[in-house]
Structure formats: C-alpha cells, structure tokens
C-alpha cells in the first residue's frame, strides 16, 4: 500500500456516507458536484489545512484512505492557492470501503486542531 491520504470530514456526513457506500463531499463546506473533486491531504499537510480552513467546526474526523482501494481517479496536484507541495484529489465519489481508519480530530485549549498520534504515525 502507498502512504494513505486523508479526508477531513464532518462525523455526521461520514456516517450517512457509510450507509450509502459513497462519500461525496469535497470539503467540509462544499460538495463533489460543486467542486469536481474531493479535496484530500497527505498526512503531514492535514493539521495545517484543518486549522487554516475549518477551525470554526467541531465534530470533525480524519478519514484515512487507502489509495489502492479508491475506485475513482486520484491525482496529486499543485494547489490553486500556490501553496508548496502536491495535494491529493479524488475525481469522483470516494467508495467508503477505501477508508481504512477514522480518527477523531480534537482541539487544544486555544481552539487549534492538534495532530492525533494515529496521524503522526502515518507521516
């Protein structure tokens, strides 16, 4: 297996997706239909992205995705924002059986997300 990729998701949305077998959110605030792909991150990019874009949200989880099991195309691309590095994108619905772990995302006393030990082990 290649190094897994991460999807930042709302727990309630993920629970519904597990019932249907397909996850179709692009980000916490946008859908696959609106954007055209699902935003993902490499494990070492995840906490920065969560703090930059989703600090106002609670009940977020990290979906650990085995890219070998994803049925849609996965591409590693430069960010439109110009940020350094390549970011994984899934061009289609994420089949839920490609998610190999779910990790709760917690905040510190300053309201910043902190990296769970399970995420650190993937870096």
Average pLDDT over residues 31-50: 96
Total-model pTM: 0.94
Q: Is 84 left (phi over 0), alpha (psi -120 to 50) or beta?
A: beta
Confidence (pLDDT) at 103: 97
* pLDDT band at 1; cut points 50, 70, 90: low
What does the alpha-carbon distance between residue 16 and residue 37 come to, in Å, rounded to a whole number?
Answer: 19
Average pLDDT over residues 33-49: 96
pLDDT in tens, 58-105: 999 999 999 999 999 999 999 877 778 899 999 999 999 999 999 999
Domain boundaries, given as residue ranges, for the chain: 5-112
Nearest to 102 by CA among 64, 53, 48, 57: 64
User: How many other CB atoms are there within 10 angstroms of residue 59's CB atom?
Assistant: 12
- CATH number assigned to the domain with residue range 5-112, chosen from the 4 options 3.30.70.890, 3.30.70.20, 3.20.170.20, 3.40.50.1820: 3.20.170.20
């Amino acid at each position: 297996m290649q190094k897994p990729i991460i999807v930042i998701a709302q727990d309630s949305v993920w629970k519904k997706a597990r019932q249907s077998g397909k996850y179709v959110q692009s980000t916490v605030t946008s859908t696959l239909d609106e954007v055209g792909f699902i935003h993902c991150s490499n494990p070492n990019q995840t906490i920065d992205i969560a703090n930059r874009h989703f600090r106002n949200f609670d009940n977020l989880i990290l979906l650990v995705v085995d890219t070998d099991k994803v049925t849609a195309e996965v591409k590693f691309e430069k960010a439109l924002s110009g940020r350094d590095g390549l970011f994984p994108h899934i061009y289609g619905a994420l089949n839920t059986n490609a998610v190999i772990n779910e990790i709760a995302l917690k905040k510190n006393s300053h309201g910043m997300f902190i990296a769970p030990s399970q995420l650190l082990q993937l870096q």
